[in-house]
Structure 1
Amino acid sequence: MESPLSKSGNTSPAKSDINQHSLGVADLKLLRVFKTVVEAGGFTAACNELNIGLAAISKQISDLEIRFGMKLCTRGREGFYLTEHGKVAYQACLDLFSSINLFRDKLNHARHELFGELNIGIIDNTITDPQSPVICGLGEVYRQAPKVNIRLHATQLDEIERGVIDGRFTCGIMPVYQEKPEFDYFFLYHEMAYLYCGDKHPFFSVPAQEIKESHIKSSQMVNHFYANHSKKNIFSGVTTPHAIAVQVEAVTMLLMTGNYLGFLPEHYASAFMGGNKLRALMPDNIEIATPFSLVVKKGAPFNSVLNLFFSALKQALIPRPEAKAS
């Protein structure tokens, strides 16, 4: 059932003076529903996140529009999108919940118990990296602060950056190809990448000693769009790649056609090397180390929950002494 105030058209809800009423618990609940719908990209996508039906979401958004006296969003055949009022309301919503979290954090600090949310944006396809401290860090946050609500979003680099800037993500954990002035960076570890070919490529069966750098430079290359390493150009005779892929998985698929060479993270490629699907070329000479950092909005303070998470990440990176043989 469509919310009458969320359908396409020029009809606007009757104006309401928000100052006449203070925000209450019911308003905060409606705002959380609105925030979830926006971040999910629509009413239908938000159903699973909120664990309620489409009709219930429509009614709550309609109630919020009536409460605020403004049309917030449109959905229908044109798709879901925010009105100009909706964009302002969403940003105000982020600011409001950020302030609530800060208030909660100060009280938690006073009574030495952590609550609140930890929203993390992390680059996809990093779960197989043994250098990554993220799993240990998350486990330690749960151990020390089980009442903290952790929300982990595995996504692409530009989405992490947008989420950190607009406040959807408390922090991001991502590769850093070039530092940007909008962020503060806290280094964690390096991800190693090597040059690979697929099992259908002519180089796959060539003895290692016969493969020369000149052969590499004359080969067709696939470029991982986000992995903007200037060092990659050293190993390529062309400034424009012959194929471009956005995700690591897409790079791998192109390599497996047998037509291209390309860089992949070592931890990701190792699963395919075991099945003789990929081969690293000149690994002693051609490698790229990409720094991974915890990233926050420039000047943003670390609350207690983020401090705990960052400390847990750093602790997980400390090498453990090997057990002595008995």
Structure 2
Amino acid sequence: MESKVSNSGNNGSPRIENATVTINNVDLKLLRVFKCVVEAGGLTSASNELNIGLAAISKQLSDLEIRLGMTLCSRGREGFELTEYGITVYQATLELFVSLNAFRDRLHNSRNDILGDFSISVVDNTLSDVNSPVTKAVQRFHLRAPKVNIRLQTAHLDEIERGINEGRFNCAIAPNYSQNDDFDYYPLYNETSCLYCGSDHSLYLLNANEITIEKLKQEKIINHTYVTHRKGNPLFAFKESPIQAVQVEAVAMLILTGQFIGYLPRHFAEQYVRSGALRQLGPSELQIETPFCLIMKKGRKVNQIIKLFMESLGCPGAP
């Protein structure tokens, strides 16, 4: 959740003390709109996702505030910010929809009809990897459960882990750089990363036998904070490098300046190598293998939808 807590206080809709809140279908609709606005980071982004106008979204947020008797957010020229009440309502909304989905799953499973919502997150810049099973898995999953509402989102690793913990994602497919005790990991495949330089770099035109390990160690190397994890190549002092980047595209931009060398996923870099913009450096011993896994919140119950998706992935740990 990227929205900030509002510093403007909780003025606006009056807070109703000791009121009993009941939930009906209209309230669920309003809560879904509120949830979408929070996760989109504001009304404009939510408007595109919900395909309704800004005025309509603002009206529904106001209706919800009146219904609950509290101000949930500020949404003026200074941007969108949640109040303390808004944070509480958002967290309660996540819990409510998790419970509703569990209720619906139980009813649907009793009639052998697979229905429900399924939210998957995939780390960005993996589409070009032929080893990734995601596209085929979603295809198989949809053919077997066409009535399930699928929401597929790409994100960077921090957002993926946060989304799983908050219940916004049922599961994710992402690299496993280090075991996090909050999650269960199911191995899927490995991603290979290689060392590259740009066409303007001094190493680009050298013969392969001139590019020694010692020469590479003297170059300015990018600390790609995910790929150059603790299992990365020990020849380079990544942590001492003042040049850092997180996303794959950011690393590629830095390499293309011709000032630095750095690691990129081989499948991502191939298009730039073919065009002559990048050159792979060093022997195969410098490559880094990163395991990709299906990730879920530890202890999460594997319902029929998740089980079917794991089967579609060919996941070795599928129950």
Normalised by the size of structure 2, how large is the TM-score?
0.92
CA RMSD of aligned residues (A): 2.0
- Per-residue CA deviations over 1:44-69 (Å, capped at 9, x if unaligned) read 21111111111111111111111111
Q: Find the counterpart in structure 1 of residue 172 from structure 2.
A: 172
Tell me if the contact between 1:17 and 1:69 (Cα under 8 Å) persists in the aligned partners: no
> What CA distance in whole angstroms lies between the structure 1 residues aligned with 2:314 and 2:19?
45
Count of equivalent residues: 310
In 2 relative to 1, CA 232–216 (structure 1 residues): closer, same or farther, beyond 3 Å? farther
> What CA distance in whole angstroms lies between the structure 2 residues aligned with 1:184 and 1:92?
24
Q: 1:228 offset after TM fit, Å? A: 4.2
SS at match of 1:249: helix
Identity %: 50
Q: Find the counterpart in structure 2 of residue 130 from structure 1.
A: 130
Consecutive unaligned residues of structure 1, counting only runs of 5 or more, are 1-5, 317-326
- Per-residue CA deviations over 1:285-316 (Å, capped at 9, x if unaligned) read 21110011111111111121111111111179
User: Which 10-residue stretch deviates more, 222-231 or 100-109?
Assistant: 222-231
Q: Find the counterpart in structure 1 of residue 269 from structure 2.
A: 269
- Per-residue CA deviations over 1:11-57 (Å, capped at 9, x if unaligned) read 342517653x6311111111101101111111121111111111111
Tell me if the contact between 2:188 and 2:315 (Cα under 8 Å) persists in the aligned partners: no
Taking the TM superposition and a 5 Å limit, the aligned residue runs for 1:18-97 are: 19=20, 22-97=22-97
Taking the TM superposition and a 5 Å limit, the aligned residue runs for 1:207-246 are: 207-232=207-232, 234-237=234-237, 239-246=239-246
SS at match of 1:300: coil
SS at match of 2:130: coil
- Per-residue CA deviations over 1:164-197 (Å, capped at 9, x if unaligned) read 0011111111111111111111111110111111
Tell me if the contact between 1:16 and 1:68 (Cα under 8 Å) persists in the aligned partners: no
Q: 1:206 offset after TM fit, Å? A: 1.4
Q: Find the counterpart in structure 2 of residue 280 from structure 1.
A: 280
User: Counterpart of 2:137 in structure 1: which amino acid?
Assistant: G
Q: 1:237 offset after TM fit, Å? A: 4.9
In 2 relative to 1, CA 315–15 (structure 1 residues): closer, same or farther, beyond 3 Å? closer
> What CA distance in whole angstroms lies between the structure 1 residues aligned with 2:284 and 2:41?
46
Q: Find the counterpart in structure 1 of residue 12 from structure 2.
A: 11
SS at match of 2:285: coil
SS at match of 2:169: coil
User: Which 10-residue stretch deviates more, 134-143 or 107-116?
Assistant: 107-116
User: Counterpart of 1:98 in structure 2: which amino acid?
Assistant: V
In 2 relative to 1, CA 283–147 (structure 1 residues): closer, same or farther, beyond 3 Å? farther
- Per-residue CA deviations over 1:195-230 (Å, capped at 9, x if unaligned) read 111111121121212221111111110121333423
Tell me if the contact between 1:216 and 1:235 (Cα under 8 Å) persists in the aligned partners: no
In 2 relative to 1, CA 114–293 (structure 1 residues): closer, same or farther, beyond 3 Å? same
> What CA distance in whole angstroms lies between the structure 2 residues aligned with 1:283 and 1:193?
12
User: Counterpart of 1:48 in structure 2: which amino acid?
Assistant: N
> What CA distance in whole angstroms lies between the structure 1 residues aligned with 2:58 and 2:213?
61
- Per-residue CA deviations over 1:214-249 (Å, capped at 9, x if unaligned) read 111111101213334234452325641141122111
- Per-residue CA deviations over 1:82-136 (Å, capped at 9, x if unaligned) read 1111111101100111111111111221111111111111110000000100001
Q: Find the counterpart in structure 2 of residue 3 from structure 1.
A: none
Q: Find the counterpart in structure 1 of residue 196 from structure 2.
A: 196
Taking the TM superposition and a 5 Å limit, the aligned residue runs for 1:89-128 are: 89-128=89-128
